[in-house]
A and B are shown apart, each in its own frame.
Chain A
Amino acid sequence: MKFKKTLLASMIGTAITAATLSPAAMAETTLRMAYDADPVSMDIHEQLSGGILQLSHMSFDPLVRWTKDFEFEPRLATEWEQVDDTTMRMTVRDGVTFHSGNPFTAEDVVWTVERLKRSPDFKAIFEPVDSVTAVDEHTVEFHTNEPFPLLLNLATYIFPMDSQFYSGETEDGDAKDEIVKNGNSFASTHISGTGPYVVTDRQQGVRVNFERFDDYWDSESPGNVDNIVLTPISENATRIAALLSGDVDFIAPVPPNDLDRVRNDDGVELVTMSGTRIILFHMDQERVDAFKDERVRQAFVYAINQEGIADRLMKGFATPAAQASPAGYVGHLPELEPRYDLEKAKQLMEEAGYADGFEISMMAPNNRYVNDAKIAQAVAAMLAKINVTVDLKTLPKAQYWGEFDDRSADMMMIGWHSDTEDSANFHEYLSACPDAATGAGQYNAGNYCNPELDALVTQANLEIDLAKRAEMLQQVEQALYDEAAYIPLHWQDLAWASAANFDIEPVLNVMNFPYLGDLVITPDDQ
């Protein structure tokens, strides 16, 4: 009976809208968007990358998602509660259906987490989760091995998949749920989630077509875009041209060199924000003995003018950094400022006995981060002022990471974004004592090692009291700053641009996954 009422109400509603709105407004709305790449697969567990996560937010819904100021917003999970130190109970939303028509239940969450624990890209992140059980149709319990404070951070990665749809075998006898990196799996070409958009057509490398899901559960979402066409345009100049000529409505990223051009154009809107990806240089202590001396490392930090790089080289498109954690992260310490002071740097070099400097090698990618090669050149030039001669080599990203893994130079550049949006992640990958067996310090190309900090981070990761935990991580950040473990440069800004009739600002966030389900288009301009 209740169903009938809603049906009647919606029919009347439709009739009224149809009667009052002009025919133009009734026409289907389409968002044509151009990114630098399209998702490599439709299997959202195949690769942990920006493109895949964007697809996840369009065709699936996470249990919870980040708001603009790093709060958790309930999506498919409506409530959560820490039952004891190692158990969290979540209530999942009622009345949600998948694109296939199957109903969404707690079993789908269990199935999805189990699949995540099998995915090569996600299993490390989901390591702390021991098991997930469905208590009843709409309640799940997460059991962790040890107290685990980041479960909600992980829940932003849990996009429940349609377990019925992905179960069974294909005609060829392959399991439908298998995760294949190189080959054709069922999940890489078939998709069924709960999200606002259904994939209707996909030509890899050419375009993906989406259509608004008729039975989308979130009836309160203001989103009114009926169709989305996603085109990859890898060439920066072409992406800008396509927006300015009106061929597409929404582009990301906007290359920094074209920001003014976009800003000055009346027909388009530009949105930028400070990002969370830290760009930094390691100083390899295994390769260069001088780097074992804290004073030398500090001298290097003092010699580099982060603000100059951000202002002039990046044209303001970066936030100068003196630590890894950006503002908003628990470990962030607002009082840590870049400490450019050339005199101090020279003095420190003299104290350490290197007044005449020495020679080092440096490597950086040339097509991975914004202005990466130019930044490396600037840093090399700044180091020359403390008599350090730099032999710089820049490489395309395809070749760079192999060199990085081999630690082929004394100073190497890396950009890092914390997958968990948490401060501990920076230390675990960038500055923890390298250990091949546990994978700790996997990207610590400085071979910096302070076991006390490692212990502190391990302890913080068991601390359920978030205030206490934040304090510990801030301690770590302070110590890394004092000991000059590496040279932080800046957090790269993010930029998007759209045609003026699309209101993109409310759906954007620093995670760089626009919540397109909530995107509003002003119908008059269509």
Chain B
Amino acid sequence: MKKALLSLLATAAISTTAYDASAQTQTDARVAVAITETISGYNPYADPVVLLSNVWCQVYGCVTRYDFDRNEFVPYLAETVQSVDPLTWEIRLPEGAKRHNGEPVLAQDIVHSIDYLGKNPSSGKSYLVAGWSKVEAIDDRTVRITTATPDATVPDNLAGVAVTSKALYDQMGEAMFRDAPFGAGPYKLDEVSIGEHIVISRNDGHPMLSPNNPTQIMYRIMPEPEQRVTALANGEVQIAQSVPPQLMARVADMPNAQIATTNSVEMMFLAMSPKTHPWDRKEARQAVAHAINREAIVRAILQGQADLLNGPVSAGQIGHDPEFTGTYDYNPEKARELLQSAGLEGVEVTLSTPVGRYTADRQITEAMVPMLEAAGFKVTLDTPEWATLWANVQQGKVPFYYMGRGSMIDPSRALHQYFATGGSPRIGFSDPELDTLLAAERAEFDPAARDEKMQAAVRYLVDAAPAAFMWQHKMAWGVSKGISFQPRPADQVNGWEVFVN
């Protein structure tokens, strides 16, 4: 089978955002972005945080990227990415691709980058290249990847591969990241202040840029929401990430800023480990799904800033079926009946939740407790510190918890991780039929056919209910009226998508 999935010219892929450079004067305006997450250093492979990974893609260039207008992965640094056969993918670099220092981008650089990601102890993203049995440079412009099993998620994984220079790494080692961060992306690295900020500046002449993209962008850590919003009001930043519901009205009232929202690609769910009692009974799991009044929580606590989920995915994600309206309406009587039919009325359960990790997580789970008790559960709410909860979840030690899972533009990796047999101990769910359905979607390279197979897996998963799917938060960003920026469903602020008015 030789089916090309991604054979678009890179220049065509970016044409939707590119402006006519000759018609406008280049802006010298700078834009500061207040962000929530960490800036852990110069190494582009060390930190899996989405926003930071995206900054590295702007500097070095990643092999692919997700085009939210086209709803598909398109080449970024590459010219084409195609599947040659079910186990083989080929990446072709464009003729004459150059780094910021004028050196050519070579196929050997991609091989080196993938090798570093997979094997170097400093890599925090080795999962991206797991299952790739061989990566080789065929010539200076062509890379061939051989996978152990058919894997339709390769273009998704390549979106996390920042292409660094093999020659510079061989010459300088790890110091290259700090002393010679020459990439081939639309922006250049200017400055990194660890744990504080990162500054990138425009790589003039790059085809993705237009004259009114900012000349410099500073991503500045501001962990407190009040501070991000105040800095926006004060004109210290032009974009503020993650404005919580209670501060949205304040931003909307600002004369110099406004709110821009997008849906997230993060599913929020209640996980129930079938390895533990009473979650070994499907009736108990389904009772939870019927017991939670999600509409009331979204209305009262999240102030409407979330979209209800009928499964793990929503519109715009692979596997979303608009016809599938879900099977779990809010029905406390039915929940009680299910629990009674399993002889579990009055069963004691502990609901664990992070505090401050997700929007209103504690308030939401506090509201869930009486709903679950109305269905017949006896509930204890557990609120451990995030590091403790997360370590225990990863080891499969938490039977019932409220959690989110992001990076789900292509949900395959997440669904395999949480629900496939042996995917991870987090839920410990195992169902051969679901395994078959998930394996089938991953091996399907035709997008339409894959979508159908994913939909079948989602339907089966929802019925089996190892998790009760709750909602996706709407992500609110504060945006200065001096710029135009429409946030995307992933936490990304790409310079070429920010326009100075």
A and B interact physically: no
* A interface residue numbers (CB < 8 A to B): none
* B interface residue numbers (CB < 8 A to A): none
